Amino acid sequence: MLEVEGLHLRYGHKEALRGVSLKVAEGEIVTLIGSNGAGKTTTLKAISGLLRPHRGEIRFCGRRIDRDPPHAIIAAGLVQVPEGRLLFPAMTVREHLDLGAVRAPPGAPAPAKRLDDVLSLFPILGERSAQKAGTLSGGQQQMLAIGRALMAAPRFLMLDEPTLGLAPVMIDQLADAISRLHKGGMTILLVEQRVDLALHLAHRGYVLQTGEIAFENEARLLLDDPRIKTAYLGA
């Protein structure tokens, strides 16, 4: 469904990505693992059209998208939930959800149906519909960021550090929501600081080190890989 091949990307003279290649098949959860500064967020931003690669190709459902603007990529069904949520503090919960619905592709379910689905996944958003986003808790803001993305009716969802800074109980709720989305048919590319959680959720994982894919494997095998245990799991 998603194919990234030989991706190179620079910030000025600094090469942030060097030949990154990865694939995500329809119906999979794939995780991208790496330390801070390894290039995980840069990879997601390149896929979503926010950054232009220097070399390489990105294909979504067989069509090349690495020269498409972000709004066209969203309309094609590939949506990113950014690190840090990037909400508008003075806008209400409902206004964010309505905003997310603007770029839905032709043939998407009606906005009312999409809203029902989001509120079924995150009931608290219905209860806080008129509340300004800046007054929500961190976990509620993350739910809103995901809900806003879901209102665009994606077929493929990219999640960048969804549990960052959240309490354990909220992390459990978001992990459950990700599992429910996947069971409902969503394909997911996940960047997550909690490597153990990411590997328990995912089918496969790629390990990114200083802008390059160091290795990949099935998630269950990466959990037992001594390189992963030493570098990321504190074992």
pLDDT, one tens digit per residue, over 92-136 is 999 999 999 998 888 889 999 999 999 999 999 999 999 999 999
Percent of the chain with pLDDT over 90: 88
Helix (H) or strand (E) holding 181: helix 168-183
How far is residue 188's CA from residue 172's CA, in Å, rounded to a whole number? 18
Pairing of strands 14-24, 2-11: antiparallel
Task: Tell me the one-letter amino acid at 57.
Answer: E
- Kindly list the domain boundaries of the chain, sorted by start residue: 2-86+155-231
Instruction: Match domain 2-86+155-231 to its CATH number in 3.40.50.11540, 3.40.50.720, 3.90.1150.10, 3.40.50.300.
Output: 3.40.50.300
- Across 53-167, where does the E strand assignment appear? 55-60, 63-64, 78-81, 156-160
Beta pairing partners, 29: 188
Q: List pLDDT tens digits, range 7-45.
A: 999 988 889 999 999 999 999 999 999 988 899 999 999
- For residue 13, the model assigns a pLDDT of 83
Q: Decide which of 233 and 220 is more confident.
A: 220
Verdict on whether the full-model pTM lies above 0.85: yes
Q: List pLDDT tens digits, range 37-74.
A: 899 999 999 999 999 999 999 999 999 999 999 999 99
